[in-house]
Structure 1
Amino acid sequence: MGPARVCRSWRRAARDDPALWRRIDMRGHADLHRRVDLCGMARAAVRSAKGRCEAFWAEYAADDGVLQLLVEQAPSLKSLRLISCQDIIRFEEEIKKLPLLEELEISLFTNIGGKHVFEAVGKACPELKHVRFNSYRFINLGNREHSDDEDYYYDYDDNDLKYKKDDDALGIASMHGLCTLQLFGNSLTNEGLRAIFDNCPHLESLDIRHCFNITMDDTLQAKCARIKTLKLPYDSTDDYGFPVCSPLLSVGIYSDSDTLGSFGIYSDSDDCDYGDYILDSDDYDGYCDPFRYLNGVYEAELGPEDRMFLKGMRMLLRDDDDDDY
């Protein structure tokens, strides 16, 4: 979005040539998400593509409105990467309307996942070849052996627990054309991983770092032999693209629902940080003010790239507003 600042001719090109907006990358500005309406910027960018957007990558820059706009105005979308976009509620409903997707990333979410979600993706997106589903951290779903309130923690038998741990994996196993898969910090077990191997014959790249429920037995080692690029649970995370949080190896669960997404997680740990804010901190309550658009952002506090990004977006949004009249 910086080219619009170079000169008038570049600005006209950025505004009038939709081919320049075929790939929209809204990552790398997470530090601005409390002060800037990144979703508003994303909507303006999608409109500028005029139906030609083929790749949309967002970090804190997508909500249900952005997703719906992509469905309506990006019929050729092939790559969708969503990172820390917690305001997306209707993911399962909207993803069914993007049948040409070849690449999907859902990273650092707390409200998207489960067998039914990934089965819906697999059914609606037959061309899907690349999937990333990365968690904040590994959480070992289990029951506390000693609880003061037995009604608070449900006592699941081993089969039920295994099903819940493999919920995501069993859904991903329905994506038969999958070539690459990254599952960071997932709770899947050997059974879930075997289901993926057995149902995804084209799988060539697999990253299951921090998936500590996996035990590499002879059966899995034999299945892994066909994988060209393999990263196992205890492999180095130096090249992982997100901060690595310490795993929670012993937690309790409680729920009155059958869906994993509504499970509560209890832990003795006091450092459960999500992204760059602490859930119990004072600034969490007001971390996202949708009415605080570009005004109120002090450019002196920003680096040169962020300043250019904001100035370019101001021009784009102004042009977008002018087109509405």
Structure 2
Amino acid sequence: MEGESEFRHWDELIPDALGLIFRNLSLQEVLTVIPGVCKSWRRAVIGPYCWQEIDIEEWSNRCQPDHLDRMVEMLITRSSGSLRKLCVSGLHNDMMFSLIAENAGSLQTLRLPRSEMSDSIVAQIAGRLSAVTFLDLSYCSKIGAPALEAIGKHCKLLVVLCRNMHPLDTADKLSQDDEANAIASTMPKLKRLEMAYHVISTEIVLKILSSCALLEFLDLRGCWDVKLDDKFMKGNFPNLKVLGPFVMDYYEMNDWDDCSDYSDGSEYLAWEFLAGEMGDYDDDDEIYEGMWDAEGRLEELELRFYDGIEEDAGIYGWPPSP
């Protein structure tokens, strides 16, 4: 109609559409920039629309443990039971695993590398992970065959299991055939299995192959005791791709460095979101300026303001819209 704009305003998009768009932004931008653009974008970020798929694995590798716990709790709570994907590294609190399980009704992809769950907590929560099809428990050194058996018995839809280990975590082990046996006995629908740097035998690998008939990819890097005949494998498993055991990978090229240590490079983000979660941002300029200046990150962040958010701008300590 004449006089009407031919373009719709961004703040008129439905929250579901905004959630899809915001997935292309970094965690920092979604939590610290987007809420200050306009009221509708703030509502989208606070609601479940942006948090059906949560991937904070990269950030979690660098943050402090207490910040990580509060971040995971906040984002899972925001998902409001609609969580389909969760990727986070280094969880160490049993309460976090229970929280994940309580909100796992729709969860299909779960990546928890370098986390410190135990066999007992996995046995308790495995029954609530029945919808999971992709599971990554790599570098989780405190679990073993009991946890994998519980997962196999309850996660009947599981098609991908990543259970890679750090070479130093398995160097003193005599055998991990019990883990491989748990996989072979309870996970027949697997299509992809990663077991790098496990101390396992050729016999147990053959048992996995005979039990998991749908297997398409098997990662055996660093499983030095496994000897598979090429002719036998091509004749009996023509559609299976096997990686290893003699393949140079990250650990060998980097002297087995452990890249799981966090740095303080993301502390400013943790404190920003925690302050925002407790309510309006405090006007303690000295605290926030110290966080930004210490990291030298302020110049990297581009802030854009639009009409209609002047009343909210003061909350974040940002100038009003031009």
CA positional deviation for 1:177 = 0.5
Equivalenced residues, count: 246
Is the CA contact 1:179–1:202 (under 8 Å) kept in the aligned structure 2? yes
Higher relative contact order by CA 8 Å / sep ≥ 6: 1 or 2? 1
Aligned mates of 1:35, 1:95 — CA distance in 2: 24
CA positional deviation for 1:185 = 0.8
CA positional deviation for 1:102 = 0.4
Per the alignment, residue 179 of structure 2 pairs with 168
Aligned mates of 1:230, 1:273 — CA distance in 2: 25
Per the alignment, residue 59 of structure 2 pairs with 29
1:67 aligns with 2:102: no
Per the alignment, residue 244 of structure 1 pairs with 251
1:226 aligns with 2:239: yes
1:99-158 alpha-carbon deviations (Å, 9 max, x no partner): 1110110011210122x322211110100000000111164557xxxxxxxxxxxxxxxx
Q: Aligned to 2:291, which of 298, 305, 309? A: 298
The answer to which of 54-63 and 296-305 deviates more is 296-305
1:3 aligns with 2:15: no
1:182 aligns with 2:189: no
Aligned mates of 1:95, 1:225 — CA distance in 2: 33
SS in 2 for 1:181: strand
Per the alignment, residue 132 of structure 2 pairs with 101
What percentage of aligned pairs have identical amino acids?
Answer: 23
Per the alignment, residue 152 of structure 2 pairs with 122
SS in 2 for 1:170: helix
Aligned mates of 2:181, 2:159 — CA distance in 1: 17
Q: Is the strand fraction higher in 1 or 2?
A: 1
Per the alignment, residue 90 of structure 1 pairs with 121
Aligned mates of 1:275, 1:137 — CA distance in 2: 13
CA positional deviation for 1:34 = 3.1
1:241-279 alpha-carbon deviations (Å, 9 max, x no partner): xx51589xxxxxxxxxxxxxxxxxxxxxxx9875455xx
Consecutive unaligned residues of structure 1, counting only runs of 5 or more, are 143-160, 238-242, 248-270, 278-282, 284-291, 309-317, 319-325
Is the CA contact 2:91–2:116 (under 8 Å) kept in the aligned structure 1? no
Consecutive unaligned residues of structure 2, counting only runs of 5 or more, are 1-26, 264-269, 276-286, 302-314, 316-322
Q: Is the helix fraction higher in 1 or 2?
A: 2
Q: Aligned to 1:195, which of 207, 223, 228? A: 207
Aligned mates of 1:221, 1:141 — CA distance in 2: 33
Aligned mates of 1:35, 1:195 — CA distance in 2: 39
1:175-203 alpha-carbon deviations (Å, 9 max, x no partner): 00101111111111101111110100110
Aligned mates of 1:233, 1:203 — CA distance in 2: 17
Q: Specify the code of the residue in structure 2 equivalent to 1:105.
A: D
SS in 2 for 1:47: helix
Aligned mates of 2:211, 2:236 — CA distance in 1: 12
